Amino acid sequence: MALPAPQTMFEDLAVGMSASITRTMTDADIRSFAAATGDTNPIHLDEDFARGSIFKTRIAHGMLTASHISSVFATRLPGAGCIYVSQEFKFKAPVRLGDDVTARVEVTGFVPEKKFVIFKTQCLVGEKVVVEGEAVLKVPSRA
């Protein structure tokens, strides 16, 4: 049985707190995401098709890459019990098979009356930002 995710309460969060995870983008991840979502765009699944694109090779779904941010929220910061309220993304660069993707979140602000926390969100390959955005989460409170 998996251990429960950590849980950071609203009152324990501070601007500047951050967390991240790194995962390697695999063919299995891309194919599973395509199967789960129905997004079978050949740019993700067909090397021959992708060779003729501006990328010259298959790329991961942008939303697959961005979904790693959710994993940080659920398992690192703030952890168990947090609820997504909103998320905006800007897709800056492609992610290719074999790329190590680091998803990072950082606390940037609060809406205390609603127990909302605002986060800067990013996915990086090396030092290159491939996805950036902002998220708002409702975080459990002691109150």
Tell me, yes or no, whether 91 lies in a domain.
yes
Tell me, yes or no, whether 53 lies in a domain.
no
Tell me, yes or no, whether 111 lies in a domain.
yes
- What gap in Å lies between CA 77 and CA 74, rounded to an integer? 7
CATH number of the structural domain spanning residue 112: 3.10.129.10
Instruction: Provide the domain count of the chain.
Output: 1
State the average pLDDT for the chain. Answer: 95
Residues whose CB is less than 8 angstroms from the CB of residue 27 and which lie 6 or more positions away in sequence, other chains included: 97
- CB hemisphere CA count around 73 (13 angstroms): 26
Tell me, yes or no, whether 71 lies in a domain.
yes
The residue range of the domain holding 20 is 10-25+66-138
Residues whose CB is less than 8 angstroms from the CB of residue 49 and which lie 6 or more positions away in sequence, other chains included: 42, 43
Tell me, yes or no, whether 110 lies in a domain.
yes
Residues forming a β-bridge with 131: 91, 123
- Report pLDDT digits (tens) over 66-119: 999 999 999 999 999 999 999 999 999 999 999 999 999 999 999 999 999 999
Quick one: which of 58, 39, 38 has its CA closest to 48? 58
In which band, very low, low, confident or very high, does the pLDDT at 143 lie, cut at 50, 70 and 90? confident
Tell me the torsion sign for CA atoms 108, 112, 113, 114: positive
Tell me, yes or no, whether 119 lies in a domain.
yes
Tell me, yes or no, whether 104 lies in a domain.
yes
For residue 35, report the phi and psi dihedrals to the nearest 5 degrees. Answer: -65, -40
Tell me, yes or no, whether 81 lies in a domain.
yes
